[in-house]
Amino acid sequence: MNDVPSHITDKMLAGARVVVMGLGRFGGGVGVTRFLVNRAASVLVTDVANEDTLRTPMEALADVSVEYRLGSHSVADLEGADLLIISPAVNRATSEFVQAARERRIPWTTEMGLFVDRCPSRMIGVTGSIGKSTTCAMLHYILESQGAKDAAKYKNAYLGGNIGRSLLSEVGTMSADDLVVLELSSFQLDVLPSLSGDWPIVGITNITSHHLDRHGSYEAYIDAKLNLIRGMSLGACAVVGRVDEKVRERIGGFVRYQKGRMIKADSFTESFDLQIPGPHNQANARFAALVAKELGISFEVSRSALAGFGGLAHRIQYARCVDGVRYFNDSKSTSVEAIDTALRSFSEPVVLLCGGKDTGSELERIKDCTWKSVRAVISFGDAAQRLAEMIGGLGDANRPKVVQPEQTFAAAIEKARSLAQAGDVVLLSPGCPSYDAFSNYEERGDAFIAAVKSLR
């Protein structure tokens, strides 16, 4: 097995035995499995999760012929395999299954690798540590407007990638007259050291220390992100938000090598009338509008379009008002920086719900968050006790009045209800992955919304 993905043609897929490693719960595994079956491949899907956990994606594939191996990855399933599709969630460096495939010299690729190799349209790639999903959704919302289409002269605008939607099923209907907005995670970019196709605009919203348990170091994480800049087309534009100067210098070097241009998004001060709160969403809107401007779309057109943007589920999503207390679901928050961003979005007193899977040293930055408006913190899950100890250990000037760990998610919500007063905000912004108790952040957010709706 090579350390880089193989280029796989449709002709190679016909009649091939393909193992899909990781069905997942965000659309990529479903999309690539259906794509492979439709190209006459014999597909086996293997996942460490059980059937109950994967019920929704399996139901989405009920109409196609697929073999499943759930609960573990069996090396025996690699016998006779012609191709391995690896989920971005899989750590190739530590996976025994991937190592066994490497020893057998089985070619491999990813859902995103298959798409990028086939996409005939111009691709706009956006990555970053925080805000990339909302930024991509905002950009796509702008591109869906008639004013944008009139200005930039394209036919259709597609949105996919890490945001949870595989575009493989639509690649056959795309053309050179279309635009594709792709949200790309560090996990996806880590296995895309080179990009094929047309990338006229690439963007990095920001870079902060994240996913170190997977990448091993901050430098390795940055290096994965920069694969997007390395892959930009000749003469392309790179829109760059808040990154440290050393990273900006590296980006500048890649941009100059490609004879392109770099735009510093954080130097702009345009404001937008948005339905979603927070200065971070103003920054997301500016970033999206700057990308659109590179396509010939004015700030005025972008501003008009974004006035109707209602935000994404699980990203500071308004849930309900009960007894004068507003409840917000920010379950997508899986880093300390995301907690801080959410806290800065409110001027009202906040009762914060945080916790989930303990991410080790990354959580220690919780002490640097903005605590001045926080009335109480209720921690939950695997990280509950450590979060409570760190936040409770803050100086008197910063420490919230109440800091309490709860054993369960449901108990944490009940405690927040009992502490919140009229005019307060109860904010679920976990700052941790959900895998200690939930299949994904969406399931966690849905559980929060259901609990809030049941409050009397």
pLDDT tens digits for range 368-414: 999 999 999 999 999 999 999 999 999 877 789 999 999 899 999 99
The rounded Cα 274 to chain-centroid distance in angstroms is 22
pLDDT of 1 reads 55
Cβ–Cβ under 8 Å, residues 123 and 183: no
Distance, CA of 334 to CA of 359 (rounded, Å): 9
Class of 317-453 in CATH? alpha beta
Distance, CA of 70 to CA of 21 (rounded, Å): 10
pLDDT of 56 reads 86
In DSSP terms, 378 is beta-bridged to 353, 404
Query: Which two structure tokens, joined as six digits, stand for 36?
Result: 């492979």
In DSSP terms, 18 is beta-bridged to 43, 83
pLDDT tens digits for range 272-322: 999 888 899 999 999 999 999 999 999 999 999 999 998 889 999 989 999
Spans of all domains in the chain:
10-109, 113-306, 317-453
Query: Which two structure tokens, joined as six digits, stand for 456?
Result: 């009397």
pLDDT of 414 reads 97
pLDDT of 371 reads 94
Residue spans of the chain under pLDDT 50? none
- The position carrying tokens 């009045």 is 401
Record: fold of 113-306: UDP-N-acetylmuramoyl-L-alanine:D-glutamate ligase (3.40.1190)
pLDDT of 25 reads 63
Q: Which of 196, 167, 194 is nearest to 180 (CA)?
A: 167
pLDDT of 6 reads 85
pLDDT of 35 reads 96
pLDDT of 389 reads 96
Query: Which two structure tokens, joined as six digits, stand for 315?
Result: 């990203």
pLDDT of 275 reads 84
Class of 10-109 in CATH? alpha beta
pLDDT of 27 reads 60
The rounded Cα 95 to chain-centroid distance in angstroms is 22
* Number of CB atoms found within 10 A of residue 59's CB: 10
Query: Which two structure tokens, joined as six digits, stand for 450?
Result: 């259901």
| pTM of the complete model | 0.82
